[in-house]
Chains A and B, each alone.
Chain A
Amino acid sequence: MSGTAGPETNIPTVIRTDNNLLVTDSNPVHRTDALTIYFTGCGTTSPAVPDGQPSPGSPLAMTVAAPTVQLGGMNMSVSFSGLAPGQVGVCQINATVPSNTPEGLSVPLVISQGGAVQTISLRVVN
């Protein structure tokens, strides 16, 4: 997947929680980093949120289908999967990078949820 990340291209946007900046080659993912992944199309949530309405902050709208997130083939620990509070139709996953994730300039991040799979490449360093 290539292009500019965001809802128009349907490419997930990944943020490092450590510095709250977009993950790029010059702001790479570090092992054990906490990441926030934004994307669209995460399916049904509970509670359901009507189209065009901002997602609630309380209770949070959680996805019904739990996602699996892998970075370089290693399963990431997912602490939240749902709609981003206050946003319209923006999905959010909070996940932690395993300490044994392979390093590289182009490591695949694979998000699988309810039969849909999205893959992007990220730079990972120690």
Chain B
Amino acid sequence: MKFTLTLVVSLAMCCSVFAPTATAQKWETGGGVGGGFYTSNDVSAPGGSASAKIATSLAASAWLANNGVGKWGGELRGDFQLGSLELNGGGTQATFAARSYALHYDVLWHATPNGSRIRPFVAVGAGIKVYQGTGAQVAYQPLSNFALLTQAQDLTPLVSAGGGVKVQLAPHLQLRAELHDYLTPFPKQVITPAQGAKVSGWMQDFVPMVGISYTSAEGR
């Protein structure tokens, strides 16, 4: 929780530090909402296997971007997602309330120059992600022979890749539609493999999103 607070404060500080310069350069700040779609990972145990994932859920982001140098740009981005932890196996399901936070920096390359009304872009970056199990713990959890859904916190590195399009709607108003793929190591503190069970691979989270930005440069 303390780390989460630090993340939020850091993001707010970054925004407040950069805000005064935003009017002098081609900055944009905005936010968006969409959905988080996780892939599942297999948890294997001596008695079989189960599938572990995070349920599809609401995702929201806020960003502060600089589109200064030619077709290149960059943005600091904070993400929040709700989404229960899920275990499925043998017709049984276990769920546990959870949420996640991420803070990352992405480098953007636009297909059209600064000032274009429509700017397709690709983005790649890295950062950190915090998974938090927030559900109520119980003495018996279904499928606990495979994995344990836990009221705990996981801090993981994050790799981000994606792309989208920015459309200038008005002198200072931009619409964004984008798709990101966020990759992290499997969060084993919140979905803990049981004794003798194993899980491998990365957790992959596809996030389509629509957002609005305020741009400092009039007319793009």
Contacts and interface: CB of A to CB of B under 8 A. Distances in A.
Given A25-B194, A27-B138, A27-B139, A125 B149 contact: no
Contact of A21 (B138, B152, B192): B138
Interface string B133-146: 00011111100100
A54 B149 CA distance: 39
Interface in A16-44: 19, 21-28, 30
A105 B192 contact: yes
A21 B139 contact: yes
Kindly state the interface size class of chain B when it binds its partner: 10 to 19
A26 B195 contact: no
A106 B195 contact: yes
B137 A27 contact: yes
Contacts of B156: none
Contacts of A46: none
A126 interface: yes
Nearest to B133: A125
B66 interface: no
Contacts of A106: 195
Interface string B116-147: 00000000000000000000111111001000
B51 interface: no
B153 A126 contact: yes
Contact of B136 (A19, A23, A25, A28): A19
Contact of A125 (B138, B141, B150, B194): B150
A123 B137 CA distance: 13
**Chain A contact residues (Cβ within 8 angstroms of B): what range?**
10 to 19
B127 to A, nearest CB: 22
B189 interface: yes
Contact of B150 (A19, A23, A28): A28
A28 B195 contact: no
B141 A30 contact: no
Secondary structure call for the A interface:
strand
Contacts of B153: 126
Given A105-B192, A105-B195, A125-B189, A26 B141 contact: yes
B103 interface: no
B42 to A, nearest CB: 19
A105 B141 CA distance: 15
B151 interface: yes
Interface of B: 136-141, 144, 148-153, 189, 192, 194-195
Interface of A: 19, 21-28, 30, 105-106, 123, 125-126
Given A21-B137, A21-B138, A28-B150, 9 more contacts: A23-B139, A25-B195, A26-B137, A27-B138, A27-B139, A28-B137, A105-B192, A105-B194, A106-B195
23 contacts: A19-B136, A21-B137, A21-B138, A21-B139, A24-B139, A24-B140, A24-B144, A25-B148, A26-B139, A26-B144, A26-B148, A26-B149, A26-B150, A27-B139, A28-B150, A30-B151, A105-B192, A106-B195, A125-B151, A125-B152, A125-B192, A126-B152, A126-B189
State the 5 A-B residue pairs at the shortest beta-carbon distance, nearest first.
A26-B141, A27-B137, A22-B139, A125-B152, A21-B139
